Chains A and B, each alone.
Chain A
């Protein structure tokens, strides 16, 4: 837990000076002026307990903490911020929601606010204010937080994942640019394998990476786990096509993909044995930060996920929405803090600190400096626009979250691609499991 003092604020400010953004005293001045004019005034003696997911990029954490400290000084609100690992955020938020105490704000993953819609503070006014001021919300981001016309939370950002590849290997395989459709992508992977510069995507229980690319293939073929009424529709000819495509694709992979977890493709790519995979921007950032990997970093490029036969992007991206609980004693302070985070003076700097790891959800930030600071970051600016929620076309909510956590789609593909089951058999298993969850 952090307790912010003026001293730590100043220290945070100096650390950020390198990014050339609003820092230290300037940030404080802005915060004070903002607090005067803000549409929500923090209650006197307000005290906010904030839970967030554990950061991956230290500079992002610094930017976040500096912002929290500035908010504290400007509004006099006590801020108690602590972070939890990805896996623990949702259970802890659920417990708070059901016991009605412990937290004021929870910053979590995917569609967290949809898990307990009756326990959250409606954010319609905040969403309205920010949307109007910053060019509107992207549809994909809005859908994670909206129930009907109500905003259950605010989609703060998206942790994007995109194709990460070695340009030289792609060119050697005979491709001038990264394929834009499934057929081309398969051809490229075949050529990469022939050149002994293979692609690879995890088929193991990798919560982030495996779910992302396998849902992309499933949805790209127009197949879904459930329809919009949450009826299980996995047993379809489209799913069969997706399985066949995936099988053909996985035959071109670096062996061992069935055992990969979330970190496997990072380390194999960085070792130089893997030439195309899908990941957050972390592979590239790690290569950039390592002086001995200069050549690899220069050769590493990002591309959008190719579009499947359905003809539109079907990406599974990780949205990170924040919510305030209805039982919080300081709703105005909570709203003020959320708004404060997303104001340009803070948000631009924060995005820069995250180095492409976080993508904005408000259209105006398309012009944010982070996307032009390094042209290779540009691809990641699309993450909040090309995504479907984790539920696909079904209702975002706890059942969809359970299906993802249970690796149903991952196991369905893995069963077929590793030859453990026939196509019909692996679909039947997935269908049975989905019916268990959507019963």
Chain B
């Protein structure tokens, strides 16, 4: 025993940690490994298709044939293609009008559903119905409702003696645009309404109580409490709404196929028509890529909306 005690303690010499040891104990390095699966996932399923889409737009690829690099040729042809610009105009019109109305109706519905009323839970569930029905199914229903010959609307109005001729819903340029926008609004309102409703529920009732004590009108309460506290949610929900509307495909394809005379062709439907039906992948990809700047702009809006969140919740904007 004494031997052990007498032995001098051997200390390992102090030396510089090797590079490997440094890396090994580096938290960022370990984190990298934990992130890898997610990164691979994103790369493979998001970055790769996006990159491929951009690459294809620079080639003359057709379905089943890779194609050769042709630079910006596809874009040059699009630049003075009146149908392409018409589709851009249609898409912007469709997105702005439909999103604005969806927001208006959605907010109104959300405020309404936030009140205390009988059958509250059931009513809230009912609102979701248009959102639950498969898009193609509802589009087909609308296609029948707006049929040139068998439209229930034309029929009813005729029976009432208000009109003598069928309304040319999907055959007239302006009617057709109004009809597809209407269908999109019908379908998109529940999403906006329910999401905003969720936002409304997070607003503390004590704020309203305080405001009531101060003698605020209902409009003042909405303007100075509800609205500012709802802005982050509005930013998110409207970004999504705009993204969904901008890239809409199914409704148009089932109802009009872009007709009459391309007046309801959106960029997504035109891209599909040229790339898949027409077989010219390169051009279709170019049209799809032309949507990216618009979508980026929409995402930017949401980004800046989210950035202001802290400030909106009354904390310091650090």
Residue pair B260, A203 in contact (C-beta under 8 Å): yes
Asked if B64 and A271 make an inter-chain contact with CB atoms under 8 angstroms apart, the answer reads no
Q: Which residues of B contact A433 (CB under 8 A)?
A: 81, 83
Contact A87 B277 (CB under 8 A): yes
Cβ contact of B261, chosen from A90, A98, A411, A436, cutoff 8 A: A411
> In the complex the two chains form, what is the Cα distance from A415 to B77 in whole Å?
21
Per-position contact with A for B87-116: 1 when CB-CB < 8 Å, else 0? 000000000000000000000000000000
Q: Across the interface, which residues of A come within 8 angstroms of B150, CB to CB?
A: 267, 271
Other-chain contact of B168, A90, A255, A267 (Cβ < 8 Å) = A255
The stretch of B4-12, B170-178, B207-215, B297-305 that contacts the partner chain: B170-178
Decide yes or no whether A392 CB sits under 8 A from chain B: no
A398 within 8 A of B: yes
Say yes or no: is A53 at the interface (Cβ < 8 Å to chain B). Answer: no
**A256–B279 contact, CB under 8 A?**
no
Across the interface, B278 reaches (CB within 8 A) one of A97, A255, A402, A439, namely A402
Known pairs A406-B274, A436-B77; A255 contacts B148 (CB<8 A): yes
Contact with B along A281-303 (1 / 0, CB 8 A): 00000000000000000000000
A255 to B257, CA, bound (A): 19
Contact across chains for B279 and A436 when beta carbons are under 8 A apart: no
Contact B261 A415 (CB under 8 A): yes
* Interface range on chain B (Cβ under 8 Å from partner): 35 or more
Minimal Cβ-Cβ distance residue in B for A205: B257
Task: Tell me the complex Cα distance, A406–B172, Å.
Answer: 20
Cβ contacts under 8 Å, B262 to chain A: 411
Main secondary structure of the interface of B (DSSP, over half): loop
Task: Decide yes or no whether A40 CB sits under 8 A from chain B.
Answer: no
Q: Mark A383-415, 1 if CB is under 8 A from B, else 0.
A: 000000000000000100110011100010011
Chain A residues touching B, majority SS: helix
> Min CB distance, A166 to chain B, in Å?
16
Q: Are B261 and A259 neighbours in the complex by a CB distance under 8 Å? A: no
- Contact string against A for B residues 144-162, beta-carbon threshold 8 Å, 1 for contact and 0 otherwise: 0001111000000000000
Considering the complex, give the chain A residue whose CB is closest to the CB of B257: A205
Q: Is the CB–CB distance between B279 and A255 below 8 Å?
A: no
Is A261 interfacial (CB 8 A cutoff)? yes
Option from A254, A402, A429 in Cβ contact (under 8 Å) with B149: A254
Which chain A residues border B259 with CB–CB below 8 Å? 204-205, 258-259, 414
Q: Which chain A residues lie closer than 8 Å to B263 at the CB level?
A: 420
Given A205-B256, A255-B171, A271-B149, A406–B273 Cβ distance below 8 Å? yes
A260 CB within 8 Å of chain B = yes
Q: Which residue in B149, B170, B276 is a CB contact (below 8 Å) of A273? A: B149
Selected from B65, B171, B279, B280, the residue in CB contact (under 8 A) with A204 is: B171
> B309 within 8 Å of A by Cβ?
no
Is residue A95 contacting chain B, with contact meaning CB distance below 8 A? yes
Among A259, A267, A406, chain B packs the most CB atoms within 10 A around the CB of A259
- Residue contact A420 to B279, C-beta cutoff 8 Å: no
Contact of A432 with B by CB under 8 A: yes
In angstroms, Cα B170 to Cα A257, docked, is 9
Q: A91-B64, A204-B171 are in contact. Are A258 and B273 (CB under 8 A)?
A: no
- Contact assessment for A205 and B278 in the assembled complex, using a CB-CB cutoff below 8 Å: no
Question: A259, B83: Cβ atoms under 8 Å?
Answer: no
| Interface assignment of B124: CB less than 8 Å from any CB of chain A | no
CB-based contact A259/B171 at 8 Å: yes
Query: Given A436-B77, A436-B81, are A259 and B176 also a contact pair (CB < 8 Å)?
Result: yes
A-B contacts, 18 listed (Cβ < 8 Å): A91-B276, A94-B63, A204-B259, A204-B260, A258-B170, A258-B260, A259-B168, A259-B169, A259-B170, A259-B171, A259-B176, A264-B147, A267-B150, A398-B62, A402-B278, A402-B280, A411-B261, A433-B81
Going nearest first, the 7 A-B pairs with the smallest beta carbon separation are A256-B148, A94-B64, A259-B170, A259-B171, A205-B257, A258-B171, A258-B260
- Beyond A94-B62, A267-B149, A411-B262, 13 extra complex contacts between A and B, CB < 8 Å: A87-B277, A91-B64, A203-B171, A204-B257, A256-B148, A258-B172, A264-B148, A405-B277, A406-B274, A414-B260, A429-B82, A432-B81, A437-B280
- List residues of A whose CB falls within 8 A of some B CB: 87, 90-91, 94-99, 203-205, 254-261, 264, 267-268, 271, 273, 398, 401-402, 405-407, 411, 414-415, 418, 420, 429, 432-433, 436-437, 439
Interface residues of B (CB under 8 A from A): 62-65, 77, 80-83, 147-150, 165-166, 168-173, 176, 256-263, 273-274, 276-280, 283
